[in-house]
Amino acid sequence: MLGTTSTFSSRYAQNGLDLHGFLDYPVLELVSCNNIWGAPFSRGGTNLSDNPTFLTREGLAKLEDELDFLKSSKRKEVAERIKIAVSYGDLSENSEYDAAKDEQAFVESRIVQLEKMMRNIRIIEPGSEDRSSVSIGVTVKLKEVPDGDVETYQIVGTTESDPLDGKISNESPLGSSLIGRQVGDRITVNTPGGQLEFEIIEIA
């Protein structure tokens, strides 16, 4: 059910296989989804500022809070750490300075990333989705064929994906193979443990 780890993901995790990429991260190469996408494709090297960031209102609020924290608090905190480290003298063997500079680079990179994302936000409004087929924002019930359990997932943008909470990215191998499909359709996706086939039971 939504909000819990799925049976099939738990099964593969027990065998030492990581399915987070299957449920979460953007697909780099999708070999087979019953030809829904045609030939295999690649999404490597995309520009964050060019692609829309799909978010719920809650997800947008979280991004805004993170950006505000980084710019108003974290940036100052790291600058102060650098200032203190510089006061110790020789920077060539100053581990505190190196660590602070590394953190500063991370903070500034994250700020740039968030600002790019915020320039192209698309809000997912509850109830606005067309439920005749799978799209971002809908909740999908899937059954692993032939005799697996029924699992429930919400399709969300990559930023909000959380497989352990039943939220999968529209750009993950599973999520991308579901987009555009309808109740009764079957999809085949590649996982670390081999191919899995699912039937769409319900779109809500």
- Domain residue ranges in the chain: 7-46+125-203, 57-122
Q: What is the pLDDT of residue 50?
A: 66
One of 3.10.50.30, 3.40.50.970, 3.90.550.10, 1.10.579.10 is the CATH number of 7-46+125-203, namely: 3.10.50.30
Q: Which residue has the higher pLDDT, 45 or 111?
A: 111
- Tell me, what's the pLDDT at 24? 54
Which residues does 45 contact at the CB level (< 8 Å), separation at least 6? Answer: none
What is the C-alpha separation between 185 and 156, in angstroms, rounded?
A: 20
Strand, coil or helix: 134: coil
Q: Which of 120, 106, 110 is nearest to 49 (CA)?
A: 120
**7-46+125-203 and 57-122 agree in CATH topology:** no
Instruction: Kindly report the average pLDDT of the chain as a whole number.
Output: 79
Question: pLDDT per residue over 115-147, tens digit each?
Answer: 999 999 999 887 666 788 999 989 999 999 888
User: What's the mean pLDDT in 19-32?
Assistant: 42
Q: 143-183 pLDDT, tens per residue?
A: 998 888 899 999 999 899 998 899 999 999 999 999 999 99
Q: Does residue 52 have a pLDDT over 60?
A: yes
Q: Does the domain at residues 57-122 carry the CATH identifier 3.10.20.30?
A: no
Three-state DSSP class for 61? helix
Pairing of strands 121-123, 53-55: parallel
Residues 6+ apart with CB under 8 A from 41: 29, 30
